[in-house]
Amino acid sequence: MSSPVSTITTTIHRRHVPPCSNISTFPTLNPNLNYTTRRPFSILSSTRLVDFKPCCSKKPELPELLDSENGNVVLEEEDDIDIGWLPAFPHVLVASMSNFLFGFHIGVMNGPIISIARELGFEGNSILEGLVVSIFIAGAFLGSSGAGYLVDRLGFKRTLQVDTIPLILGAVLCAQAHSLDQLLLGRFFVGLGIGANAVLVPIYISEVAPTKYRGSLGSLCSIGICTGIIASLSLGIFSESDPHWWRTMLYIASVTGFVLAFGMQFAVESPRWLCKAGKLNDAKQIISNLWGPSKVEKSIEEFQSVLKNDGGDLDSRWSELLEEPHSRVALIGGTLFVLQQFAGINAVLYFSSLTFKEAGITNGALASLCVGLTNFAGAFGALYLVDRQGRQKLIIGSYVGMAISMFLVVYAISFPIDEELRNNLSILGTILYILTYACGAGPVTGVIIPELSSSRTRGKIMSFSFSVHWEVRLQLLRKPKEIYDLERKKTHLMIEFCALEMEKDKKSKLRFVEVQKELCDVRDKLEPLMIKYKKEKEKQEEALVVLQEADVARTANVKLGVVQGVGPAMHENMMLMQTLGPVTRPTLRSCDQKGLIMLAKRLQERVVGQDEAVNVVADAMLRSRAVFGRANKPAGLLFFVGPSGVGKTEIARALSEQLFADEKFMIKINMCLYTEEESVPCYVGQLTETMLDDGCSVDFTHTVLIMTSNIGENHLLRALSENTSMEDARLEVMEEVRRHFKQDLLNRFDAIVVFNPLSYDLLRKVARLALKDIAIRLAGKGVTLQVMEAALHVIVPESYDLVYGAEPIKIWLENNLVTRLSNMLITNEIVENSTVYVDADSNGKDLSYRVVREGGNKSDKMVSDLKNAAKKLKIKGDWSWG
């Protein structure tokens, strides 16, 4: 009996081993041969040998070993360990660090964007927040467009090192940014480097990796991006406690850029590019080291054959992409990247946190980490599948899997099923969608394009494909975050609405009513945002056109030697720079018509109880803006008479705000100062001479002049206190005005308006307006103010003064309510995203304050005009805003 055989023999290709009588040792390995080990196909039992008849015994490549005792033919076993990828792996790993930086920079901006916006002063402005993202994509578009040009001249190794310069510089600029401009410049530089590397790394991997492992090693690009995102999300946890942590993360990104540049110094150059450059010896040495000596001659022969067919020129032209077969490959590459974006993977990744939240996972960081790990697992699976299943099968299977998973999500949100089952199906569909995308559509797209491209135009085709990728992504991300969220929610509700419309059961009908109400709410929120977004977009486009036209005109003048004269436009621009106020002629335009017609109503919202004065002012402005007023006369010349604190000055402020969007464009002159004994003589009349007639000395033709006086106020106050006829009091006031002022002066006024004193009920409205102003200021801190009706019964009586009108109310609120709220903010009793309830105390003589957290505004909302935030103020009772 022979002893049990316990060794596993190894197949050695291309070498015939003669029969031997003893198999106790392995044959000697030839270092010049290519060794491959595969899965065993013969079994050696501990008691006996299982007989196999060799089906290819005549081939010398399969050596036969004879068992000396039984004479059985033993086919050698093959093991599953395959290390042919190992020589190229370090070089591929270093290059894929650029993909790590890509994912890391995405996570750095998406996580602490609120902290960045708050520190750099654009918090709440979603247009600027979107610009921070889009400027990165614009840089990536330019970087990907120029990558092919650089690599044709410098090679992959040097080009990847050069591309680390904008990566490092951009990261440092962002980390040290103290203004939005500096941040945008840094983001643009980072985009340049990322865009170029996104093109070059897949090509570099495909040309360095052995053919058998090209797909698997190419999947390291997706793994690098996933790892970068996970790393940034993990590091971003510290930003919750340190608002400046984002700067540290960007410094980490710059250090990683240095590591990439240093690592590429030891990486090999692409052997294909070396052949194109005529460096055959270097190419042979690299092929021998990475692919094995047996592959050298065949590979060099293949490269030279391709170069000969392509023309041997080192550089290619963009026009060649219009010729066959390059145009077909470019079309395939662009189409794959367009499908990748329109498949909605970015939207699924973005809304995955909402899906997890509805299922009970409220921790946003945990949900993002779960999505990141799923994406990483899919990319790691592609590492194994891409070379075993083939590119075509994998990419088709990926899109089929994405379609099935999306059907699960749609089914879960559209049909009346159990809530727990709905949540589970939503999460399952989301995870399956991300997993199938990461297994195929994500990594295979970057692998298949270099393989289909010829060596000559490979860089240009990849540049074109990635340029399409960045352009589509830029167009998809142009809308502000709030509009994007609402549009996605609207689509979600529309799908559910259509599905529930056909259902007849009671539960579905109740849900149908809820969805209908939610859909109306979303439309109401979306409509003003879309109007605002379109207006801002039109303004930006109009400004860009004006700048372009100005540049063209200036260039033409410079070339033709035209000396520009000083005209009205230059005067207006200079005055605008010096005074920060509008100096152009106010004429009626189509976009202003609705505002002028609604001017009286808008003024009445701010000025309480003075409808006559409001209508007079609105009519004067309507005549002026229509260029239908009297020539050589001011746009409006008004005389307001009435007690203090009834709105005489307030109506001037409101008019300035409506016309010029700011109260600071109103000039107020207190004429009492000129009547004092210590005032300089002859000041009265120096600037005002004849301005009421022809406007000779000073042009006041585009000015609204409002003069105010409290003459005769005693008649009005007596009528209010004694409850007598207000009309008789107004006549007495006009008689006193005529006695005090000369008739020549009074004849020059367009109207003399007598302001009514404010009653107790009107002062309650004034108190509400003052509270609205306080709510605006609190909204800037992310806090909602809610004032109960009972609080007004404390505020108005405490501050009521018949003689001084509205002013005592504002002073009382500043000294009491605002001071108390300020103290609560300083002591952190009030924090962001909280609501302050103001009510009367138990005895009804003082105010009480109650704070509810996690129920107010968020300071990162898009409220570029903070006055919209006043809608958050609610007064419970017979009056409310909201």
Q: What is the pLDDT of residues 809-860, one digit of tens each?
A: 888 888 888 888 888 888 888 888 888 888 888 787 788 888 887 655 444 3
Please name the residue that has the structure tokens 């579905």: 508
| The pLDDT of residue 199 is above 70 | yes
Average pLDDT on 86-102 reads 85
Average the pLDDT over each of 268-282, 406-420, 701-715 and give the range with the smallest value. 406-420
| The pLDDT of residue 505 is above 80 | no
Q: What is the pLDDT of residues 153-189, one digit of tens each?
A: 888 888 888 888 998 999 899 888 888 888 888 888 9
| The pLDDT of residue 68 is above 60 | no
Average the pLDDT over each of 109-123, 356-370, 408-422, 442-456 and give the range with the smallest value. 356-370
Phi, psi of 636 (to 5 degrees): -155, 135
| The pLDDT of residue 451 is above 60 | yes
Please name the residue that has the structure tokens 């052997």: 271
**Which range has the top average pLDDT, 299-313, 331-345, 397-411?**
397-411
| The pLDDT of residue 284 is above 50 | yes
SS3 721: helix
| The pLDDT of residue 767 is above 50 | yes
The pLDDT value given to residue 591: 41
Cα of 124 vs its chain's centroid, Å: 12
Who has greater pLDDT, 50 or 459? 459
The pLDDT value given to residue 44: 32
The pLDDT value given to residue 169: 92
Q: What domains does the chain contain, in order, with CATH numbers? A: 1-82 (no CATH), 89-276+287-314+323-478 (1.20.1250.20), 486-551 (no CATH), 584-757 (3.40.50.300), 761-876 (1.10.8.60)
Question: Which residues lie across from 65 on neighbouring strands?
Answer: 74
The pLDDT value given to residue 81: 53
| The pLDDT of residue 271 is above 80 | yes
| The pLDDT of residue 79 is above 80 | no
Average pLDDT on 520-529 reads 77
| The pLDDT of residue 641 is above 80 | yes
**242 near 258, Cβ under 8 Å?**
no
**7 near 34, Cβ under 8 Å?**
no
DSSP 710: -
**Res. 28 pLDDT band, cuts 50 70 90:** very low
Please name the residue that has the structure tokens 């020129």: 313
Measure the CA angle with vertex 416, ends 411 and 421; round to 5°.
Answer: 70
- Provide the token pair at 866: 């903070």
Average pLDDT on 243-254 reads 84
How many whole angstroms separate alpha carbon 781 and alpha carbon 124? 11
Q: How does strand 636-641 pair with strand 751-754? A: parallel
The pLDDT value given to residue 656: 81
How many whole angstroms separate alpha carbon 621 and alpha carbon 654? 13
The pLDDT value given to residue 456: 63
How many whole angstroms separate alpha carbon 327 and alpha carbon 461? 9
Who has greater pLDDT, 117 or 36? 117
**805 near 607, Cβ under 8 Å?**
no
Burial (Cβ within 10 Å: 0-12, 13-18, ≥19) of residue 715:
buried
| The pLDDT of residue 269 is above 80 | yes
| The pLDDT of residue 6 is above 60 | no
Q: What is the CA radius of gyration of the chain?
A: 39
Other CB atoms within 10 A of residue 514 CB = 13
| The pLDDT of residue 107 is above 60 | yes
Average the pLDDT over each of 59-68, 210-219, 448-457, 839-848 and give the range with the smallest value. 59-68
Q: What is the pLDDT of residues 364-404, one digit of tens each?
A: 556 666 777 777 787 777 777 776 777 777 778 888 888 88
The pLDDT value given to residue 12: 34
The pLDDT value given to residue 363: 57
DSSP 747: T
Who has greater pLDDT, 620 or 317? 620
Q: What is the pLDDT of residues 533-561, one digit of tens each?
A: 666 666 555 554 544 444 455 545 544 44
Average pLDDT on 42-60 reads 35
Average pLDDT on 577-600 reads 57
Average the pLDDT over each of 42-56, 378-392, 629-643, 835-849 and give the range with the smallest value. 42-56
SS3 690: coil
Burial (Cβ within 10 Å: 0-12, 13-18, ≥19) of residue 327:
middle
- Provide the token pair at 303: 């490269």
Q: What percent of the chain has pLDDT over 70?
A: 63
DSSP 290: H
How many whole angstroms separate alpha carbon 674 and alpha carbon 693? 22
Average the pLDDT over each of 211-225, 292-306, 379-393, 864-878 and give the range with the smallest value. 864-878
Who has greater pLDDT, 370 or 89? 89
Q: What is the pLDDT of residues 655-708, one digit of tens each?
A: 888 877 677 778 887 777 666 666 665 555 555 555 555 545 566 777 788 888
The pLDDT value given to residue 37: 38
Burial (Cβ within 10 Å: 0-12, 13-18, ≥19) of residue 449:
buried
